[in-house]
Structure 1
Amino acid sequence: MEIEKPPVDRQVEKPDGERRGLVLVHTGDGKGKSTAAFGLALRAHGRGKAVKIYQFMKVPSARFGEHRVFEKLGVPIEGLGDGFSWKSRDLEHSAQLARDGWARAAQTIAEGEHFMVVLDEIMYPLRYGWLELQPVLDALRDRPSHVNVVLTGRGCPQELIDAADTVTEMKLIKHHYQAGVPAQRGIED
């Protein structure tokens, strides 16, 4: 590792544009997409902002770590799906759940009552063809100007990348699965 001197002067000029709602995308093959979105949700909630989280692949009865803590904090988090596709017994039912969930999420975005709406794992139903991309793009474009929307999942379509204000790609460098270590409660859930 090479040691560097810490900066002592701020070299960056602050933007002078108006503050507005943002579209943020967390994509890529690396770990941390949902975790980063939940961190933003916690940050917004900590500032007294209304937050709503939709999880497109989790079942409504899910009780993962994030569900437990968000429930304690009073942040609504809603599972919209029936698990990942390889766990589904009926893919058309899974697709219908995604469409029904999108209708609820789109309404939440349009109503403008939340500072932040998280669309966790929305890329999967988009990639599987369960959701059409254009209505998602339209909802992002037409949302009230103060609403921030965070979208997560692998394989983000280029059109969403183009529409977003901030896009972060999580890059896989090394993963414990590759060494045969299974999922860990509190890390993967």
Structure 2
Amino acid sequence: FERSSMLELLVFDKDIVGKDDFLGGVCIPVTEFPWEKKVSHDYSLGEVRGVKGQGQGYISVAARLYNRKDYREDQERRVKIDEMARQNIAKWKNLALGSSFDAWTEFILTKKQKRSKVAIALGYMRNRVLGSSFIAWQEFLSLHFEKKQKIVRALIFMKRRSLVRGYGGWREFMEYREGK
């Protein structure tokens, strides 16, 4: 290629249906085109200056090369095409930015929902563990209380028995004493 050559990039919008709409073209001096990168049929929007991310279309490389003389003759037409391409690229950039923001907010909402579901599940698990340990504690306390009651009853029984025996012994002694 000569140094004075210009490369024309034709801009198309690819619809969901698969139909391509022509949006205009961009002329790039051959010296500024990234030849070191492998150029395929679809020219990535991320490689165009001023565009970040990926847009809703593609730029197809045309096979036509112009020299500077032809470019100057057709400059007014090319300025219109360049402006239209800049507007469309800005539109794609805004669409990509808006769609990435929407995707980000949706991601955050789903992440919050998942976190809340995980928190609820962990709460159930914690409550189940706490509940089972509380039930075990209640069972231990009831068994302890029952044992304590049995011990108290046994002590009362023994005290009464010794009291009854003592009373019986005293009564026998009194009878023995009166009987003499």
Normalised TM-score (structure 2): 0.20
Q: Which has the higher helix share?
A: 2
Normalised TM-score (structure 1): 0.20
Question: Looking at CA atoms only, which structure, 1 or 2, has the larger radius of gyration?
Answer: 2
| Structure with more contact order per residue of length (Cα contacts < 8 Å, sep ≥ 6) | 1
